[in-house]
Amino acid sequence: MKNLIEDFTKHIAESIKISNVTSLGPFNSKIENVLICGLGGSGIGGSIISQVVTQDASCSITINKDYKIPAFVNENTLVICCSYSGNTEESLEMLEQAEAKNAIIACVTSGGKLMEIAQEKNYNHIVIPGGHPPRAAFGLAFPPLFFILKHYNIIVEDYVAQFNTAVNTINSEEENMIAEAKAITDKLMGKIPVIYVDANYEGVAIRFRQQINENSKMLCWHHVIPEMNHNELVGWTTKDDNLAVVIFRNDDDYFRTQKRMEVNKTVFEKYTSTIIEIYSKGNSRLEKALYLVHLGDWISYLIAEKKGIDVTEVDVITHLKNELAKI
């Protein structure tokens, strides 16, 4: 896992190269909305891209992480099915339903049943290198989504320049990021992370929560601001130093949201002694998101290392899949 995290920017560069040379076929229908289907490490890219391109997208982009697709899907819906292995049962069921509704279908995968279907039915698809845990393949699976949205005229910008800038920033800051991750790891040991972020960056918080769950083998939760100010903030009433607040911050967070964060801290500090603020670097929303994703990955890995546990092990998920296979 350490090597895969170190290769994050290499994965991005490799994925952009693959996407650039992948030939995507023409389409005739007018696209009115987009549905991105995927779960876990295969689905997080959809959560993040839907927020990164919100000011650029020509139509709504909905993320689906379930067995069933929404009723609005029709022949004018672009459905992007994402499954790193190509065998995620929920994604395959969503694909079947999208086919039944004559949706426009595109796929991102490394192989498996999804690739077989895409090739057999001539769906546009981008094939990325396989063999990694899905959560460690984010750098490979994320860029193709931009190329697909660009191909179908959902977005105007190709975002390659922003990816390249993000890669350069992360590479130049790698040592500093690891040092910061180690310091944050020390503060999080033995505690339950409570993650907060501006609503426009919720995908980043989801990614960090998932990595803490899978890599660090820990429970945690996240919420967004300002929504949590209308509910969860009231729940901060009991002193509990087992909780550690982690706030992801960006210089483009809405100014009133930034003020809320400052006021929130005065509440949190009454009930926990651990409040950690993590600031992104970069000029665009994409650059900042990638920076925070990478820093969060390092934190989740270093926690596992410090706990002396196997960061790649996901036996309980394997058990669940084996039980489901009996149905």
The catalytically annotated residue of 17, 121, 319, 321 is 321
Rg over CA atoms, the chain: 20
| Tokens describing residue 175 | 């040592």
Domain with CATH 3.40.50.10490 in the chain: 2-158, 174-307
Instruction: Supply the pLDDT for residue 168.
Output: 98
Regions of the chain where pLDDT drops below 70: none
The catalytically annotated residue of 120, 175, 230, 323 is 230
Catalytic, 214? Answer yes
Instruction: Supply the pLDDT for residue 29.
Output: 87
Contact assessment for residue 59 and residue 34, using Cβ atoms and an 8 Å cutoff: yes
Query: Residues 189, 137, 285, CA angle at the centre, nearest 5°?
Result: 80
Q: What is the CATH architecture assignment of 2-158? A: 3-Layer(aba) Sandwich (3.40)
Catalytic, 321? Answer yes
The catalytically annotated residue of 90, 214, 222, 287 is 214
Torsional class of 102: left (φ above 0), alpha (ψ -120 to 50), beta (otherwise): left
Which CATH fold topology does 174-307 show? Rossmann fold (3.40.50)
